[in-house]
Amino acid sequence: MSMQQQLQEYRTCVEQALEEYVIQSADDRLKEAMRYSLLSPGKRLRGSLCLAACEMAGGTREEALPFAAAIEMIHAYSLIHDDLPAMDNDTLRRGLPTNHVVYGESMAILAGDGLLTEAFRAMSGSGNPNALKALAEVAACSGARGMVGGQAMDTSLEGTAPDKETVLRIHQGKTAALIRASVLSGMICAGADEEQLKKGAEYADHLGIAFQIVDDLLDITGDEAQLGKHAGKDAQEGKLTWVAAVGEKQARIDAGMHTDRAVQALESFGNRAEFLQGLAIYILSRVK
Amino acid sequence: MSMQQQLQEYRTCVEQALEEYVIQSADDRLKEAMRYSLLSPGKRLRGSLCLAACEMAGGTREEALPFAAAIEMIHAYSLIHDDLPAMDNDTLRRGLPTNHVVYGESMAILAGDGLLTEAFRAMSGSGNPNALKALAEVAACSGARGMVGGQAMDTSLEGTAPDKETVLRIHQGKTAALIRASVLSGMICAGADEEQLKKGAEYADHLGIAFQIVDDLLDITGDEAQLGKHAGKDAQEGKLTWVAAVGEKQARIDAGMHTDRAVQALESFGNRAEFLQGLAIYILSRVK
């Protein structure tokens, strides 16, 4: 099976888990708002990484499925809150009106809060013997030390002169942290040891940075149909992007370098790492 | 020791745990915004309930401390998000300017997200053998089925004619659910069995409703210094309160009835329930 077919298979698996996941609430509109963002078309990259990482470490994808679903919930909540008028004030996401445009600002805030909480409920009910350790990793990566911290830096520093170190730290928080959560929680579900987790973390950190640089490059070169959002918005708003910090040419070189290092990090896993290595190369290919 | 002395002791214990809790983030302003709301003066009722419930079920308060701290984080996040301009648009809370007034709207959203995530990190790192079960209970009570669901109903129905059943369901979600999380997570930390947890849930549900009815009554009778927030705001905004649904006289009767039932629920615990029973009576006494 090709890397792309495999990716499609993981994606279908994650989509199905999300479709089947029952959100209970006394408020129907809240449920609807949560499902709207959770089930809107997406690549399900983070969920797929989680399943693939579990298999690489010797587990089955079923073992990691509640974590893959939970991480997609966390991703969905972060997008809802990012798009709010007080944050990025985006009206279009993945080609659809953003949550607050459809449901109003207060319901969008609550839908985000609900998805974040539901993610932890899903993980706590997974039945995996390593659930608590995996959950702790996801919590650490998505909070003030990780994703939320990156968002806060991005917000605090918007409009300031881009400096390479600062942009790197924002990218590590905003993007790489949740990718790290995906890979590590998947591996922990499979019972991976500390040495293996170290390799997984190295892969995830470099993949996360490469992914964000590619995203920054696509923002200046892509069209709206491909992006599913308004193009060129980063530059307009003075966002701290890798391209703004080092220029387009160097950004392409750096994306390649981080991809190489991600691929190398998994060498000791041999054939089992084929999919995750191929995925890193595929992500890079979007801007080659 | 009197009930009030005991409450003060629990409160001090929770306050100290929160003071000592280290929030790590690359963004200093985010940390500051999170700590601002987490450490602002509060009764620490939920944290105290958690510690007391653990002791009632035969545990030590230390065993429940990470959960008491986590529930106070969840309470703090919910207040930050409730106060946002898109939600209740409150500028004063516990006598201090609300989070978004001090740190701006986008940072307040992120501070709330950060505290919610940090709560799950704190619980996952507690080391308690029953941590996963207790965490699952907290997640269920604070999400779409519980607190967030209650907030959503409150938002969806604001300005409509108050109906007793609807107001009860909102109160169950908005207030009682997190009180239930406090009591049950504390008891689970002590290794309580299902029969004991059923009694604890009954206590918490009645206490939560009584607490919210008392709050509704204080909103019409209290002064701002006592409340630490603007008085009479519920009525002004057409909030669905118990007083609006059944009238002041009946509300007082109902508060007494729910308090009685809370007290009765813990009878089988004998002397060990003294504090939690006394606390329910004390809460009622604020409007007697």
A34-64 pLDDT, tens digit per residue, is: 999 999 999 999 999 999 999 999 999 999 9
Is A258 a residue whose pLDDT tops 60? yes
Spell out the domain ranges in chain B. Answer: 3-285
- Closest by Cα among A130, A122, A141, A142 to B136: A122
Of A125, A135, A150, the CB nearest to B124: A135
Among A86, A116, A153, the residue with its CB nearest the CB of B105 is A86
User: Span A155-180, mean pLDDT?
Assistant: 90
Instruction: Write out chain B residues lying below 8 Å of A114, CB-based.
Output: 143-144, 148-149, 152
| Residue B1 scores a pLDDT above 90 | no
Reading phi first (left if > 0) and then psi (alpha if -120 to 50, else beta), residue B160 is in beta
pLDDT at B286: 87
pLDDT at A274 over 90: yes
Token pair listed for A258 = 């981080």
Q: How far apart are CA B105 and CA B111, in angstroms?
A: 10
Distance from CA of B37 to the nearest CA of A (A): 15
Please tell me the predicted confidence (pLDDT) of residue B39: 96
Interface of A with B in 70-89 (CB under 8 A): 77, 81, 84-87
**Lowest-pLDDT choice from A188-202, B116-130, B162-176:** B162-176
Contact between residue B98 and residue B83 where contact means Cβ atoms under 8 Å apart: yes
The reported pLDDT for the residue numbered A1 is 84
**pLDDT of B137 higher than 60:** yes
Q: Which of B174, B119, B164 is nearest to B144 (CA)?
A: B174
Which residues, at least 6 apart from A257, have a Cβ–Cβ distance to it below 8 Å? Answer: none
Confidence of residue A152 (pLDDT cuts 50, 70, 90): very high
Using a CB-CB distance cutoff of 8 angstroms, which residues of chain A are in contact with residue B30? 144, 148-149, 152, 156
Please indicate whether, in this complex, the C-beta atoms of B114 and A149 are within 8 angstroms of each other.
Answer: yes
Average of per-residue pLDDT across A123-145:
97
pLDDT band at B234 (very low <50, low <70, confident <90, very high): low
C-beta atoms of A144 and B114 within 8 A: yes
Q: Does the pLDDT of residue A226 top 60, yes or no?
A: no
Segment B79-89, tens digit of pLDDT: 999 999 999 99
Considering only CB atoms, B31 lies closest to which of A29, A110, A144, namely A144
Task: Judge whether A249 and A238 are in contact, CB under 8 Å.
Answer: no
Pick from A79, A106, A137 the residue to mutate for testing the B interface (most B CBs within 10 Å): A106
Tell me how far CA of residue B35 lies from CA of B31, B87, B96, in angstroms. 6, 21, 14
Band of pLDDT at residue B239, cut at 50, 70 and 90: confident
- Kindly tell me if the per-residue pLDDT of B197 is higher than 90: yes
Contacts of B143 in chain A (CB under 8 A): 114, 117-118, 121
pLDDT at A66 (0 to 100): 98
Neighbours of A188 (CB within 10 A): 28
| Closest Cα in chain A, distance from residue B131 (Å) | 8
Q: Given the structure tokens 């002397």, which residue do they identify?
A: B271
Q: In chain B, pLDDT over 90 holds for what percent of residues?
A: 85
Q: Would you place residue A107 in the very low, low, confident or very high pLDDT band (cuts 50, 70, 90)? A: very high
Distance CA B200, CA B59 (A): 14
**Confidence (pLDDT) at A159:** 79
C-alpha closest to that of A86 among B115, B87, B38, B150: B87
pLDDT digits (tens, 9 = 90+) for A168-221: 999 999 999 999 999 999 999 999 999 999 999 999 999 999 999 999 999 888
> Residue B212: helix, strand or coil by DSSP?
helix
A109 chain-B contacts, CB cut-off 8 A: 81, 84, 86-87, 109
Residue A160: per-residue pLDDT: 83
Contact A118 B124 (CB under 8 A): no
Q: What is the pLDDT of residue A116?
A: 98
* Long-range CB contacts (within 8 A, 24+) of B221-229: B221/B287, B225/B95, B228/B41, B228/B92, B228/B93, B228/B94, B228/B95, B229/B90, B229/B92, B229/B93, B229/B94, B229/B95
pLDDT of residue A157: 87
* Closest chain B C-alpha to A159 CA, distance in angstroms: 15
Mean pLDDT of B180-203: 98
B278 burial via Cβ count (<10 Å: 0-12, 13-18, 19+): middle
What's this model's pTM, rounded to 2 decimal places?
A: 0.95
Cross-chain residue pair B145–A84, CB shorter than 8 Å:
no
pLDDT of residue A223 exceeding 60, the answer is no
How distant, in Å, are the alpha carbons of B81, B90, B179, B237, B261 from that of A110?
8, 17, 19, 19, 32
Residues listed for chain A:
288
Q: Check pLDDT > 60 for residue B96.
A: yes
- DSSP-based three-state secondary structure for A182: helix
Cα(B15)–Cα(B48) distance, integer angstroms: 10
CA angle in degrees (0–180, nearest 5) for A148-A153-A156: 120
Tokens of B16: 């100290």
Third-level CATH fold of A3-285:
Farnesyl Diphosphate Synthase (1.10.600)
Kindly indicate the confidence band of residue A162, based on its pLDDT and cuts at 50, 70 and 90: confident
Whether the CB of B27 is below 8 Å from some CB of chain A: the reply is: yes
Nearest Cβ partner of A144 from B86, B118, B151?
Answer: B118
With an 8 Å Cβ cutoff, is A124 touching chain B? Answer: yes
Q: Which of A156-170, A200-214, B264-278 has the least mean pLDDT?
A: A156-170
B130 touches chain A (CB under 8 A): no
